[in-house]
A and B are shown apart, each in its own frame.
Chain A
Amino acid sequence: DAGVIQSPRHEVTEMGQEVTLRCKPISGHNSLFWYRQTMMRGLELLIYFNNNVPIDDSGMPEDRFSAKMPNASFSTLKIQPSEPRDSAVYFCASSLTGQGGEKLFFGSGTQLSVL
């Protein structure tokens, strides 16, 4: 199994530009999570999908952030417009059913730098 695949690995952009991060969960996994990691705030949950439906988006910082999961094998996290404070590592993770007590499998992350 290829694991959770994220792209790009690194993204450098200028303030005000649109940024799109991509994630392919493990085949057969029904739950997908987007986390953001910074030194200041640690690992924060942004949004959680189950069976392609957003279940909890309370962690999404503001309207500049949006996430979609059009099918079971693909999700995007979009930031528009981006700001320097969005600089962080963004992780996507998946689990089998999301029904609790399951381990998360993380992708390698996207290192985002907004200048």
Chain B
Amino acid sequence: GQQVMQIPQYQHVQEGEDFTTYCNSSTTLSNIQWYKQRPGGHPVFLIQLVKSGEVKKQKRLTFQFGEAKKNSSLHITATQTTDVGTYFCAGPRGGSYIPTFGRGTSLIVHP
């Protein structure tokens, strides 16, 4: 079935450095969502991308959806300790609307 793959699994950065996580699908996605889960917390919705080549920004976070709608990325500029957590992408499963989550990228920010 359709799977959403995320890399890297973990990323250590020094505070102030940039961070990027990548999400890839074997099939074309109608949309892709991004969630953030703080340690000990629950996933919280960040954003949804729908259009081919779409780019959206939320302060220091930049989200991109590939032209072929098979990949996406999340880039954080100048990381802060508050950015610590696991970032998940989620795409619809097969022909349904059910979100299938990637394994997530855990961001560790060293002060």
A positions within 8 Å CB-CB of B: 33, 35, 42-43, 45, 48, 56, 91, 93, 98-109
- Whole-angstrom CA separation of A99 from B92 in the bound complex: 11
Task: Return A70 CB to nearest CB of chain B, in Å.
Answer: 22
Asked whether any CB of chain A lies closer than 8 Å to the CB of B87, the reply is no
Residue numbers in B under 8 Å from A42 (CB-CB): 101-104
Partner of B45, one of A33, A105, A109: A105
Q: Is the interface of B mostly helix, strand, loop or mixed?
A: loop
Chain B residues touching A, range: 20 to 34
Report the nearest B residue to A109, measured CB to CB.
B42
Report whether A101 and B97 are in contact in the complex, using a CB–CB cutoff of 8 Å.
yes
Please give, as numbers and ranges, the residues of chain A lying within 8 Å of B30 by CB-CB distance: 100-101
Of B42, B88, B96, B99, which one neighbours A108 at CB under 8 angstroms? Answer: B42
10 cross-chain CB contacts under 8 A: A42-B103, A91-B42, A93-B43, A99-B97, A100-B97, A101-B97, A102-B97, A103-B48, A104-B45, A104-B90
| Complex CA distance for A43 and B5, rounded to whole angstroms | 12
Least CB distance, A89 to chain B, in whole angstroms: 9
Flag whether B31 is at the interface (Cβ < 8 A). yes
